Structure 1
Amino acid sequence: MTTCLSALNADILDLLCDAVRTTGLEALKALSVTNRQLRAAALSRVFSAVRVEGTMRECTEVMREILRVKGLVGYIRKFTLKLDVTEDVIEDVNIHKDPANSAARLAVSPAAVAFSAALIELLSHLVRLQSLNIGDPEPAIASSESILNYSLKSATGALRLDSVVELSTLSGCTALSAICPSVTRLSLIDRPSSEQAEMWGTLTRVECLTVKGIRDLESIQAMTRSMKHLTELTIKDGMDIRTELPRLSHLQSLRVLTLGYLFQLELGYHPPQCGFGWGQLRRDPTRMENLRAQRGRALNEAKRLARSVFPGLEKLHIDGATFDFSWLKTGDFDELDALEADSEQTA
Protein backbone atom coordinates (compact mmCIF):
# COMPACT_ATOMS: atom_id res chain seq x y z
CA MET A 1 0.00 0.00 0.00
CA THR A 2 1.27 3.47 -0.90
CA THR A 3 1.82 5.63 2.19
CA CYS A 4 3.67 8.52 0.53
CA LEU A 5 1.82 11.19 -1.44
CA SER A 6 4.71 11.55 -3.85
CA ALA A 7 4.25 7.91 -4.88
CA LEU A 8 0.70 8.47 -6.11
CA ASN A 9 0.19 8.62 -9.86
CA ALA A 10 -0.90 11.79 -11.66
CA ASP A 11 -4.55 10.75 -11.98
CA ILE A 12 -4.89 10.20 -8.23
CA LEU A 13 -3.19 13.51 -7.50
CA ASP A 14 -5.61 15.24 -9.85
CA LEU A 15 -8.59 13.69 -8.06
CA LEU A 16 -7.13 14.73 -4.71
CA CYS A 17 -6.67 18.32 -5.88
CA ASP A 18 -10.20 18.42 -7.26
CA ALA A 19 -11.58 17.24 -3.92
CA VAL A 20 -9.57 19.79 -1.95
CA ARG A 21 -10.53 22.57 -4.40
CA THR A 22 -14.18 22.17 -3.42
CA THR A 23 -13.31 23.27 0.13
CA GLY A 24 -11.74 26.51 -1.04
CA LEU A 25 -8.76 27.99 -2.82
CA GLU A 26 -6.79 28.53 0.39
CA ALA A 27 -6.90 24.81 1.19
CA LEU A 28 -5.62 24.04 -2.29
CA LYS A 29 -2.79 26.54 -1.89
CA ALA A 30 -1.80 24.86 1.38
CA LEU A 31 -1.83 21.46 -0.30
CA SER A 32 0.38 22.76 -3.11
CA VAL A 33 3.35 23.20 -0.75
CA THR A 34 3.24 19.57 0.40
CA ASN A 35 5.60 18.25 -2.27
CA ARG A 36 6.68 18.85 -5.84
CA GLN A 37 4.18 16.48 -7.44
CA LEU A 38 1.22 17.96 -5.59
CA ARG A 39 2.40 21.46 -6.37
CA ALA A 40 2.41 20.70 -10.08
CA ALA A 41 -1.08 19.22 -9.87
CA ALA A 42 -2.45 22.04 -7.70
CA LEU A 43 -1.02 25.00 -9.59
CA SER A 44 -3.16 24.32 -12.65
CA ARG A 45 -6.22 24.80 -10.43
CA VAL A 46 -4.92 27.66 -8.30
CA PHE A 47 -4.09 29.72 -11.38
CA SER A 48 -6.77 28.48 -13.77
CA ALA A 49 -8.64 31.77 -13.23
CA VAL A 50 -6.67 35.00 -12.86
CA ARG A 51 -8.11 38.46 -12.21
CA VAL A 52 -6.21 41.73 -12.65
CA GLU A 53 -7.84 44.93 -11.44
CA GLY A 54 -6.67 48.48 -10.86
CA THR A 55 -5.30 51.57 -12.56
CA MET A 56 -3.31 51.39 -15.78
CA ARG A 57 -0.03 51.40 -13.87
CA GLU A 58 -1.20 48.78 -11.38
CA CYS A 59 -2.54 46.48 -14.10
CA THR A 60 0.63 46.90 -16.14
CA GLU A 61 2.84 45.85 -13.24
CA VAL A 62 0.70 42.82 -12.37
CA MET A 63 0.59 41.63 -15.99
CA ARG A 64 4.35 41.98 -16.27
CA GLU A 65 4.74 39.97 -13.06
CA ILE A 66 2.53 37.19 -14.45
CA LEU A 67 4.79 37.01 -17.48
CA ARG A 68 7.89 36.90 -15.29
CA VAL A 69 6.73 33.86 -13.30
CA LYS A 70 7.92 30.84 -15.24
CA GLY A 71 5.13 28.60 -16.50
CA LEU A 72 2.28 30.61 -14.95
CA VAL A 73 0.68 31.63 -18.25
CA GLY A 74 0.27 27.97 -19.17
CA TYR A 75 -2.17 27.42 -16.29
CA ILE A 76 -4.54 30.28 -17.07
CA ARG A 77 -7.89 29.26 -18.59
CA LYS A 78 -9.89 32.32 -17.54
CA PHE A 79 -8.52 35.85 -17.51
CA THR A 80 -10.37 38.88 -16.15
CA LEU A 81 -9.12 42.44 -16.55
CA LYS A 82 -10.92 45.35 -14.88
CA LEU A 83 -9.36 48.68 -15.74
CA ASP A 84 -10.15 51.66 -13.51
CA VAL A 85 -9.10 54.96 -15.06
CA THR A 86 -11.06 57.22 -12.70
CA GLU A 87 -7.93 58.74 -11.15
CA ASP A 88 -6.30 59.17 -14.56
CA VAL A 89 -9.36 60.98 -15.92
CA ILE A 90 -9.54 63.32 -12.92
CA GLU A 91 -5.83 64.13 -13.21
CA ASP A 92 -6.07 64.71 -16.96
CA VAL A 93 -9.11 66.99 -16.68
CA ASN A 94 -7.48 69.00 -13.90
CA ILE A 95 -4.42 69.57 -16.08
CA HIS A 96 -6.01 70.19 -19.48
CA LYS A 97 -9.45 71.54 -18.50
CA ASP A 98 -10.83 69.69 -21.52
CA PRO A 99 -12.94 66.68 -20.46
CA ALA A 100 -14.33 66.11 -23.96
CA ASN A 101 -10.94 64.95 -25.26
CA SER A 102 -9.71 63.25 -22.11
CA ALA A 103 -10.21 59.70 -23.40
CA ALA A 104 -8.26 60.41 -26.60
CA ARG A 105 -5.35 61.89 -24.65
CA LEU A 106 -5.26 59.06 -22.14
CA ALA A 107 -5.28 56.42 -24.89
CA VAL A 108 -1.88 57.62 -26.14
CA SER A 109 -0.39 58.54 -22.77
CA PRO A 110 2.83 56.81 -21.61
CA ALA A 111 0.86 54.85 -19.02
CA ALA A 112 -1.57 53.61 -21.69
CA VAL A 113 1.26 52.68 -24.07
CA ALA A 114 2.92 50.59 -21.35
CA PHE A 115 -0.43 49.07 -20.40
CA SER A 116 -1.18 48.15 -24.02
CA ALA A 117 2.19 46.50 -24.51
CA ALA A 118 1.82 44.43 -21.34
CA LEU A 119 -1.75 43.40 -22.19
CA ILE A 120 -0.95 42.32 -25.74
CA GLU A 121 2.14 40.42 -24.65
CA LEU A 122 0.24 38.63 -21.91
CA LEU A 123 -2.69 37.69 -24.14
CA SER A 124 -0.32 36.37 -26.79
CA HIS A 125 1.14 33.96 -24.22
CA LEU A 126 -2.20 32.66 -22.90
CA VAL A 127 -2.27 29.71 -25.28
CA ARG A 128 -4.79 27.74 -23.19
CA LEU A 129 -7.16 30.62 -22.53
CA GLN A 130 -10.85 29.76 -22.87
CA SER A 131 -12.67 32.61 -21.10
CA LEU A 132 -11.84 36.31 -21.40
CA ASN A 133 -13.47 39.14 -19.45
CA ILE A 134 -12.19 42.60 -20.29
CA GLY A 135 -13.91 45.73 -19.06
CA ASP A 136 -13.91 48.11 -16.15
CA PRO A 137 -15.41 48.18 -12.66
CA GLU A 138 -19.04 49.24 -12.79
CA PRO A 139 -20.27 51.75 -13.63
CA ALA A 140 -18.49 51.71 -16.97
CA ILE A 141 -16.95 54.96 -18.16
CA ALA A 142 -16.12 55.88 -21.74
CA SER A 143 -12.43 56.57 -21.09
CA SER A 144 -11.57 53.02 -20.06
CA GLU A 145 -13.54 51.65 -23.01
CA SER A 146 -11.58 53.89 -25.39
CA ILE A 147 -8.25 52.92 -23.87
CA LEU A 148 -9.03 49.22 -23.95
CA ASN A 149 -10.22 49.24 -27.54
CA TYR A 150 -7.30 51.42 -28.65
CA SER A 151 -4.91 48.98 -26.97
CA LEU A 152 -6.52 45.92 -28.52
CA LYS A 153 -6.98 47.47 -31.96
CA SER A 154 -3.22 47.80 -32.30
CA ALA A 155 -2.98 44.00 -32.10
CA THR A 156 -5.74 43.21 -34.60
CA GLY A 157 -4.30 40.95 -37.26
CA ALA A 158 -1.27 39.99 -35.18
CA LEU A 159 -3.12 38.60 -32.15
CA ARG A 160 -5.64 35.80 -32.50
CA LEU A 161 -7.13 33.89 -29.58
CA ASP A 162 -8.83 30.94 -31.26
CA SER A 163 -9.17 29.00 -28.01
CA VAL A 164 -11.39 31.65 -26.40
CA VAL A 165 -15.01 30.52 -26.50
CA GLU A 166 -16.40 32.78 -23.77
CA LEU A 167 -16.07 36.57 -23.98
CA SER A 168 -17.43 39.34 -21.76
CA THR A 169 -16.61 42.95 -22.51
CA LEU A 170 -17.82 46.47 -23.20
CA SER A 171 -19.66 46.91 -26.49
CA GLY A 172 -17.09 49.48 -27.60
CA CYS A 173 -14.21 46.99 -27.42
CA THR A 174 -14.96 45.77 -30.92
CA ALA A 175 -11.35 44.80 -31.63
CA LEU A 176 -12.04 41.64 -29.65
CA SER A 177 -14.52 40.50 -32.30
CA ALA A 178 -11.56 39.94 -34.63
CA ILE A 179 -9.15 38.72 -31.96
CA CYS A 180 -11.58 36.10 -30.60
CA PRO A 181 -13.36 34.67 -33.67
CA SER A 182 -14.38 31.36 -32.06
CA VAL A 183 -16.60 32.79 -29.31
CA THR A 184 -19.80 30.88 -28.60
CA ARG A 185 -20.80 32.69 -25.38
CA LEU A 186 -20.82 36.48 -25.64
CA SER A 187 -21.70 39.08 -23.00
CA LEU A 188 -21.83 42.79 -23.90
CA ILE A 189 -22.25 45.81 -21.65
CA ASP A 190 -23.82 49.03 -22.98
CA ARG A 191 -25.68 49.72 -26.19
CA PRO A 192 -23.50 49.26 -29.29
CA SER A 193 -23.63 51.77 -32.10
CA SER A 194 -24.76 50.54 -35.52
CA GLU A 195 -21.12 50.20 -36.58
CA GLN A 196 -20.21 48.32 -33.41
CA ALA A 197 -23.24 46.05 -33.77
CA GLU A 198 -22.12 45.16 -37.28
CA MET A 199 -18.66 44.23 -36.01
CA TRP A 200 -20.01 42.05 -33.20
CA GLY A 201 -22.30 40.43 -35.75
CA THR A 202 -19.25 38.85 -37.37
CA LEU A 203 -19.16 36.38 -34.46
CA THR A 204 -21.47 33.97 -36.22
CA ARG A 205 -20.74 31.05 -33.87
CA VAL A 206 -22.39 32.67 -30.86
CA GLU A 207 -24.88 30.36 -29.18
CA CYS A 208 -25.46 32.27 -25.94
CA LEU A 209 -25.75 36.07 -25.80
CA THR A 210 -26.10 38.33 -22.75
CA VAL A 211 -26.69 42.07 -23.06
CA LYS A 212 -26.68 44.62 -20.26
CA GLY A 213 -27.31 48.35 -20.24
CA ILE A 214 -29.57 48.23 -23.29
CA ARG A 215 -33.21 49.33 -23.13
CA ASP A 216 -34.01 49.31 -26.83
CA LEU A 217 -33.11 46.28 -28.92
CA GLU A 218 -32.65 47.88 -32.33
CA SER A 219 -28.87 47.44 -32.23
CA ILE A 220 -29.25 43.87 -30.95
CA GLN A 221 -31.65 43.19 -33.80
CA ALA A 222 -28.99 44.21 -36.32
CA MET A 223 -26.20 42.39 -34.50
CA THR A 224 -27.97 39.05 -34.20
CA ARG A 225 -29.21 38.68 -37.78
CA SER A 226 -26.05 36.74 -38.61
CA MET A 227 -26.08 34.67 -35.40
CA LYS A 228 -27.90 31.67 -36.80
CA HIS A 229 -26.85 29.38 -33.93
CA LEU A 230 -28.14 31.58 -31.11
CA THR A 231 -30.18 29.45 -28.70
CA GLU A 232 -29.91 31.40 -25.42
CA LEU A 233 -30.52 35.10 -24.87
CA THR A 234 -30.32 37.11 -21.65
CA ILE A 235 -31.53 40.71 -21.49
CA LYS A 236 -30.64 42.08 -18.08
CA ASP A 237 -32.27 45.50 -18.18
CA GLY A 238 -35.77 46.82 -18.44
CA MET A 239 -37.53 47.67 -21.70
CA ASP A 240 -40.92 48.16 -23.27
CA ILE A 241 -41.29 44.45 -23.95
CA ARG A 242 -44.32 44.88 -26.21
CA THR A 243 -42.31 47.05 -28.60
CA GLU A 244 -38.80 45.69 -28.23
CA LEU A 245 -39.10 41.91 -28.05
CA PRO A 246 -40.69 41.54 -31.52
CA ARG A 247 -37.54 43.11 -33.00
CA LEU A 248 -35.84 39.76 -32.35
CA SER A 249 -38.42 37.55 -34.05
CA HIS A 250 -35.76 36.43 -36.55
CA LEU A 251 -34.16 34.34 -33.77
CA GLN A 252 -36.20 31.26 -34.54
CA SER A 253 -33.58 28.93 -33.03
CA LEU A 254 -33.93 30.54 -29.60
CA ARG A 255 -34.69 28.02 -26.87
CA VAL A 256 -33.95 29.88 -23.61
CA LEU A 257 -34.88 33.49 -22.86
CA THR A 258 -33.91 35.26 -19.63
CA LEU A 259 -35.42 38.62 -18.77
CA GLY A 260 -34.98 40.92 -15.78
CA TYR A 261 -37.48 42.26 -13.29
CA LEU A 262 -41.11 42.13 -14.28
CA PHE A 263 -41.79 45.69 -13.09
CA GLN A 264 -39.18 46.99 -15.58
CA LEU A 265 -40.97 45.56 -18.62
CA GLU A 266 -43.79 48.13 -18.72
CA LEU A 267 -46.55 45.57 -18.33
CA GLY A 268 -48.55 47.38 -15.67
CA TYR A 269 -46.95 45.72 -12.64
CA HIS A 270 -45.91 48.31 -10.05
CA PRO A 271 -44.71 46.78 -6.77
CA PRO A 272 -43.26 48.91 -3.95
CA GLN A 273 -39.59 49.78 -4.39
CA CYS A 274 -38.65 49.80 -0.72
CA GLY A 275 -39.18 47.83 2.47
CA PHE A 276 -41.42 50.51 3.95
CA GLY A 277 -43.78 50.25 1.00
CA TRP A 278 -43.95 46.47 1.30
CA GLY A 279 -44.62 46.82 5.02
CA GLN A 280 -47.61 49.04 4.34
CA LEU A 281 -48.84 46.68 1.66
CA ARG A 282 -48.75 43.66 3.97
CA ARG A 283 -51.06 45.48 6.35
CA ASP A 284 -53.61 45.97 3.58
CA PRO A 285 -54.85 42.55 2.33
CA THR A 286 -56.97 44.09 -0.42
CA ARG A 287 -54.08 46.02 -1.94
CA MET A 288 -51.82 42.97 -1.62
CA GLU A 289 -54.33 40.81 -3.44
CA ASN A 290 -54.66 43.42 -6.18
CA LEU A 291 -50.88 43.48 -6.57
CA ARG A 292 -50.76 39.69 -6.87
CA ALA A 293 -53.42 39.84 -9.57
CA GLN A 294 -51.46 42.60 -11.30
CA ARG A 295 -48.33 40.45 -11.24
CA GLY A 296 -50.24 37.45 -12.57
CA ARG A 297 -51.59 39.44 -15.52
CA ALA A 298 -48.14 40.85 -16.28
CA LEU A 299 -46.54 37.40 -16.15
CA ASN A 300 -49.17 35.96 -18.45
CA GLU A 301 -48.65 38.74 -20.97
CA ALA A 302 -44.88 38.27 -20.81
CA LYS A 303 -45.30 34.53 -21.39
CA ARG A 304 -47.62 35.15 -24.32
CA LEU A 305 -45.24 37.64 -25.90
CA ALA A 306 -42.27 35.32 -25.51
CA ARG A 307 -44.20 32.38 -26.93
CA SER A 308 -45.51 34.41 -29.87
CA VAL A 309 -42.16 35.91 -30.82
CA PHE A 310 -40.19 32.68 -30.29
CA PRO A 311 -42.44 29.70 -31.10
CA GLY A 312 -39.65 27.22 -30.36
CA LEU A 313 -38.88 28.65 -26.91
CA GLU A 314 -38.47 25.99 -24.24
CA LYS A 315 -37.71 28.01 -21.11
CA LEU A 316 -38.48 31.52 -19.95
CA HIS A 317 -36.67 32.93 -16.93
CA ILE A 318 -38.26 36.12 -15.66
CA ASP A 319 -38.27 37.96 -12.34
CA GLY A 320 -36.80 34.95 -10.53
CA ALA A 321 -39.35 32.53 -11.97
CA THR A 322 -38.77 29.82 -14.55
CA PHE A 323 -41.44 28.63 -16.95
CA ASP A 324 -40.84 25.37 -18.80
CA PHE A 325 -42.70 25.64 -22.09
CA SER A 326 -41.78 22.08 -23.04
CA TRP A 327 -44.73 20.91 -20.92
CA LEU A 328 -47.19 22.68 -23.19
CA LYS A 329 -49.16 20.34 -25.41
CA THR A 330 -50.92 22.97 -27.53
CA GLY A 331 -50.45 26.53 -28.67
CA ASP A 332 -53.47 27.61 -26.69
CA PHE A 333 -52.94 30.72 -24.56
CA ASP A 334 -55.22 29.39 -21.81
CA GLU A 335 -52.86 26.47 -21.32
CA LEU A 336 -49.92 28.87 -21.33
CA ASP A 337 -51.58 31.11 -18.73
CA ALA A 338 -52.14 28.10 -16.50
CA LEU A 339 -48.47 27.05 -16.67
CA GLU A 340 -46.94 27.64 -13.26
CA ALA A 341 -43.39 28.66 -12.53
CA ASP A 342 -40.96 25.87 -11.70
CA SER A 343 -43.80 23.37 -12.08
CA GLU A 344 -42.91 19.70 -11.96
CA GLN A 345 -45.37 17.87 -14.11
CA THR A 346 -45.53 14.31 -15.25
CA ALA A 347 -46.29 13.34 -18.77
Structure 2
Amino acid sequence: MTWHLADLNADVLASICTALYDVEEGTKTLRAFSSMNRRIRHASLPPLFRSVSVPKKPLRESTEALVALKETNSVTRYIRVFTFSPLPSNALEEFLHSHDPAVLLHSFKHEGPDCASALVEALASMPSLENLTFQPKPNPNLRELVIRHFPVAFAPSQLRLERVKYLSTDVSFTFLRRICPSAVALSVETIGRVLVGSQSRRALR
Protein backbone atom coordinates (compact mmCIF):
# COMPACT_ATOMS: atom_id res chain seq x y z
CA MET A 1 0.00 0.00 0.00
CA THR A 2 1.40 3.34 -1.07
CA TRP A 3 1.38 6.03 1.59
CA HIS A 4 1.40 9.75 0.82
CA LEU A 5 1.53 12.88 2.95
CA ALA A 6 -1.76 14.00 1.45
CA ASP A 7 -3.39 10.96 3.07
CA LEU A 8 -2.85 12.47 6.51
CA ASN A 9 -5.81 14.13 8.19
CA ALA A 10 -6.17 17.93 8.12
CA ASP A 11 -4.94 18.50 11.69
CA VAL A 12 -1.73 16.56 11.13
CA LEU A 13 -1.04 18.34 7.85
CA ALA A 14 -1.64 21.69 9.54
CA SER A 15 0.83 20.79 12.30
CA ILE A 16 3.47 19.78 9.75
CA CYS A 17 3.00 23.03 7.83
CA THR A 18 3.31 25.09 11.01
CA ALA A 19 6.47 23.24 12.03
CA LEU A 20 8.03 23.81 8.60
CA TYR A 21 7.16 27.50 8.74
CA ASP A 22 8.83 27.91 12.13
CA VAL A 23 12.24 26.63 11.02
CA GLU A 24 14.98 28.81 9.52
CA GLU A 25 13.93 29.98 6.04
CA GLY A 26 10.55 28.53 6.88
CA THR A 27 8.60 30.52 4.29
CA LYS A 28 10.77 29.20 1.47
CA THR A 29 10.61 25.66 2.82
CA LEU A 30 6.85 25.70 3.28
CA ARG A 31 6.22 27.17 -0.17
CA ALA A 32 8.18 24.33 -1.71
CA PHE A 33 6.29 21.80 0.40
CA SER A 34 2.93 23.35 -0.53
CA SER A 35 3.58 22.80 -4.24
CA MET A 36 3.18 19.03 -3.85
CA ASN A 37 -0.59 19.02 -4.30
CA ARG A 38 -3.75 21.04 -3.72
CA ARG A 39 -4.54 19.58 -0.28
CA ILE A 40 -1.11 20.34 1.11
CA ARG A 41 -1.23 23.80 -0.47
CA HIS A 42 -4.52 24.49 1.31
CA ALA A 43 -3.05 23.34 4.65
CA SER A 44 -0.07 25.67 4.18
CA LEU A 45 -2.16 28.84 3.75
CA PRO A 46 -2.66 29.72 7.45
CA PRO A 47 1.06 29.87 8.36
CA LEU A 48 2.10 31.38 5.03
CA PHE A 49 -0.35 34.26 5.37
CA ARG A 50 -0.23 34.62 9.16
CA SER A 51 1.70 37.89 8.87
CA VAL A 52 1.30 40.29 5.93
CA SER A 53 2.83 43.71 5.29
CA VAL A 54 1.91 46.02 2.46
CA PRO A 55 5.14 47.25 0.80
CA LYS A 56 6.01 50.83 1.76
CA LYS A 57 5.03 52.83 -1.31
CA PRO A 58 3.44 56.24 -2.09
CA LEU A 59 -0.23 56.61 -1.32
CA ARG A 60 -1.60 55.70 -4.75
CA GLU A 61 0.49 52.55 -5.05
CA SER A 62 -0.33 51.60 -1.46
CA THR A 63 -4.03 51.89 -2.27
CA GLU A 64 -3.61 49.63 -5.30
CA ALA A 65 -1.83 47.07 -3.09
CA LEU A 66 -4.71 47.13 -0.59
CA VAL A 67 -7.26 46.59 -3.36
CA ALA A 68 -5.25 43.67 -4.74
CA LEU A 69 -4.93 42.16 -1.26
CA LYS A 70 -8.66 42.41 -0.59
CA GLU A 71 -9.40 40.64 -3.87
CA THR A 72 -7.46 37.61 -2.58
CA ASN A 73 -10.06 37.01 0.13
CA SER A 74 -9.34 33.30 -0.01
CA VAL A 75 -6.14 34.06 1.96
CA THR A 76 -6.91 37.30 3.83
CA ARG A 77 -9.04 35.32 6.27
CA TYR A 78 -5.82 33.73 7.56
CA ILE A 79 -4.06 37.03 8.32
CA ARG A 80 -3.37 37.54 12.03
CA VAL A 81 -0.70 40.24 11.84
CA PHE A 82 -1.12 43.12 9.40
CA THR A 83 1.14 46.13 8.81
CA PHE A 84 0.31 49.09 6.60
CA SER A 85 2.80 51.97 6.41
CA PRO A 86 2.11 54.14 3.34
CA LEU A 87 4.44 56.88 2.17
CA PRO A 88 3.38 60.42 1.21
CA SER A 89 1.91 60.97 -2.23
CA ASN A 90 4.39 61.58 -5.03
CA ALA A 91 1.93 63.91 -6.79
CA LEU A 92 4.12 66.96 -6.19
CA GLU A 93 7.09 65.30 -7.85
CA GLU A 94 4.88 64.25 -10.76
CA PHE A 95 3.57 67.81 -11.11
CA LEU A 96 7.08 69.28 -11.15
CA HIS A 97 7.96 66.83 -13.90
CA SER A 98 4.82 67.19 -16.03
CA HIS A 99 3.63 70.71 -15.09
CA ASP A 100 0.11 69.33 -15.34
CA PRO A 101 -2.13 70.79 -12.58
CA ALA A 102 -4.55 67.88 -13.07
CA VAL A 103 -2.00 65.67 -11.28
CA LEU A 104 -2.27 67.72 -8.09
CA LEU A 105 -6.04 68.08 -8.40
CA HIS A 106 -6.53 64.32 -8.67
CA SER A 107 -4.22 63.72 -5.72
CA PHE A 108 -5.98 66.18 -3.43
CA LYS A 109 -9.47 64.97 -4.34
CA HIS A 110 -9.03 61.20 -4.58
CA GLU A 111 -5.89 59.68 -3.08
CA GLY A 112 -6.86 60.15 0.58
CA PRO A 113 -10.48 58.93 0.29
CA ASP A 114 -9.51 56.09 -2.03
CA CYS A 115 -6.83 54.81 0.34
CA ALA A 116 -9.17 55.09 3.33
CA SER A 117 -11.92 53.10 1.59
CA ALA A 118 -9.44 50.47 0.44
CA LEU A 119 -8.13 50.04 3.99
CA VAL A 120 -11.65 49.60 5.37
CA GLU A 121 -12.42 46.90 2.81
CA ALA A 122 -9.09 45.14 3.32
CA LEU A 123 -9.48 45.03 7.11
CA ALA A 124 -13.06 43.81 6.76
CA SER A 125 -11.72 40.77 4.89
CA MET A 126 -9.46 39.78 7.83
CA PRO A 127 -11.71 38.08 10.44
CA SER A 128 -8.71 36.45 12.18
CA LEU A 129 -6.71 39.67 12.63
CA GLU A 130 -5.07 39.96 16.07
CA ASN A 131 -2.25 42.47 15.59
CA LEU A 132 -2.66 45.68 13.58
CA THR A 133 0.01 48.26 12.77
CA PHE A 134 -0.91 51.40 10.85
CA GLN A 135 2.03 53.78 10.78
CA PRO A 136 2.26 56.11 7.79
CA LYS A 137 5.69 57.61 7.27
CA PRO A 138 6.14 60.57 9.67
CA ASN A 139 5.04 63.48 7.51
CA PRO A 140 2.75 66.37 8.55
CA ASN A 141 0.88 66.44 5.24
CA LEU A 142 0.26 62.70 5.21
CA ARG A 143 -0.81 62.73 8.84
CA GLU A 144 -3.27 65.55 8.13
CA LEU A 145 -4.63 63.66 5.13
CA VAL A 146 -5.27 60.59 7.28
CA ILE A 147 -6.96 62.62 10.02
CA ARG A 148 -9.17 64.35 7.45
CA HIS A 149 -10.27 61.42 5.27
CA PHE A 150 -9.92 58.13 7.14
CA PRO A 151 -12.46 58.71 9.94
CA VAL A 152 -15.02 59.63 7.27
CA ALA A 153 -14.50 56.26 5.58
CA PHE A 154 -14.45 54.21 8.79
CA ALA A 155 -17.48 55.76 10.53
CA PRO A 156 -20.25 54.46 8.22
CA SER A 157 -18.58 51.08 7.75
CA GLN A 158 -19.44 49.91 11.29
CA LEU A 159 -16.29 47.79 11.08
CA ARG A 160 -15.34 46.08 14.35
CA LEU A 161 -12.10 44.12 14.68
CA GLU A 162 -13.11 42.19 17.77
CA ARG A 163 -10.10 39.86 17.77
CA VAL A 164 -7.42 42.56 17.58
CA LYS A 165 -5.44 42.55 20.83
CA TYR A 166 -2.45 44.65 19.79
CA LEU A 167 -2.69 48.00 18.00
CA SER A 168 0.19 50.22 16.94
CA THR A 169 -0.61 53.59 15.37
CA ASP A 170 -0.43 57.39 15.66
CA VAL A 171 -1.98 58.89 18.77
CA SER A 172 -4.29 61.01 16.59
CA PHE A 173 -5.81 58.07 14.72
CA THR A 174 -8.63 57.46 17.19
CA PHE A 175 -10.79 55.91 14.48
CA LEU A 176 -8.63 52.78 14.70
CA ARG A 177 -8.85 52.60 18.47
CA ARG A 178 -12.64 52.70 18.19
CA ILE A 179 -12.84 49.71 15.87
CA CYS A 180 -10.55 47.59 18.07
CA PRO A 181 -12.61 47.37 21.28
CA SER A 182 -10.78 44.29 22.57
CA ALA A 183 -7.27 45.72 22.27
CA VAL A 184 -5.32 45.21 25.49
CA ALA A 185 -2.02 46.71 24.34
CA LEU A 186 -1.55 49.97 22.50
CA SER A 187 1.55 51.54 21.03
CA VAL A 188 1.02 55.09 19.84
CA GLU A 189 3.40 57.50 18.17
CA THR A 190 3.34 61.00 16.80
CA ILE A 191 5.80 62.07 14.12
CA GLY A 192 8.06 59.20 15.10
CA ARG A 193 8.13 59.87 18.87
CA VAL A 194 6.74 57.10 21.08
CA LEU A 195 4.26 58.42 23.64
CA VAL A 196 2.80 55.28 25.17
CA GLY A 197 4.21 51.77 25.15
CA SER A 198 1.40 49.72 26.64
CA GLN A 199 -1.93 50.52 28.22
CA SER A 200 -4.63 48.46 29.83
CA ARG A 201 -7.90 47.82 28.08
CA ARG A 202 -9.63 50.31 30.39
CA ALA A 203 -7.11 53.01 29.47
CA LEU A 204 -7.79 52.52 25.78
CA ARG A 205 -11.43 53.54 26.12
TM range (shorter): 0.7 to 0.9
**1:49–1:64 Cα change, 3 Å:** same
* 2:88 aligned residue: 85
Are 1:46 and 2:48 counterparts? yes
Which of 179, 189, 193 is the equivalent residue of 1:213?
A: 193
CA contact (8 A) 1:2 1:8 kept: no
Higher relative contact order (CA 8 A, sep 6+): 2
Cα distance change, pair 43–79 in 1 and its aligned pair in 2 (3 A) = same
Distance change (3 Å), C-alpha of 1:146 and 1:2: farther
TM-score (norm 1): 0.49
- Is 1:227 the counterpart of 2:203? The answer is yes
Which one has the largest radius of gyration? 1
Alpha carbons 1:106, 1:112 under 8 Å: kept: no
CA contact (8 A) 1:168 1:188 kept: yes
In structure 2, C-alpha distance between the alignment counterparts of 1:150 and 1:44, rounded to whole Å: 35
What is the rounded CA distance, in whole Å, between the counterparts of 2:107 and 2:175 in structure 1?
15
How big is the shift at 1:112? 2.0
Aligned equivalents of 2:160, 2:15: Cα separation in 1: 33
2:82–2:133 CA contact under 8 A, matched in 1: yes
Q: Equivalents in 2 of 1:168, 1:88: separation in Å?
A: 27
Q: Note if contact 1:124-1:159 (Cα within 8 Å) is conserved in structure 2.
A: yes
Q: Which residue of 2 aligns with 1:62?
A: 65
How many residues align structurally?
191
CA contact (8 A) 2:81 2:130 kept: yes
Q: TM-score, normalised by structure 2?
A: 0.80
Following superposition, the deviation at residue 69 of structure 1 comes to: 2.1
In structure 2, what is the equivalent of residue 74 of structure 1?
Answer: 77
Q: Which residue of 2 aligns with 1:32?
A: 34
Q: 1:40 and 1:118, CA in 2 relative to 1: closer, same or farther beyond 3 A?
A: same
Cα pair 2:163 2:182 within 8 Å, conserved: yes
The runs of 4+ residues in structure 1 deviating greater than 6 Å are 92-95
The letter of the residue matching 2:145 is I
User: Which structure's residues are more often helix, by fraction?
Assistant: 2
State the partner residue of 2:148.
150
CA distance in 1, matches of 2:203, 2:96: 41
Corresponding residue of 1:195: none
Q: What corresponds to 1:188 in structure 2?
A: 188
Return 5+ residue gaps in structure 1 as ranges: 96-101, 192-211, 229-347
In 2, the alpha carbon distance for the partners of 1:106 and 1:149 equals 19
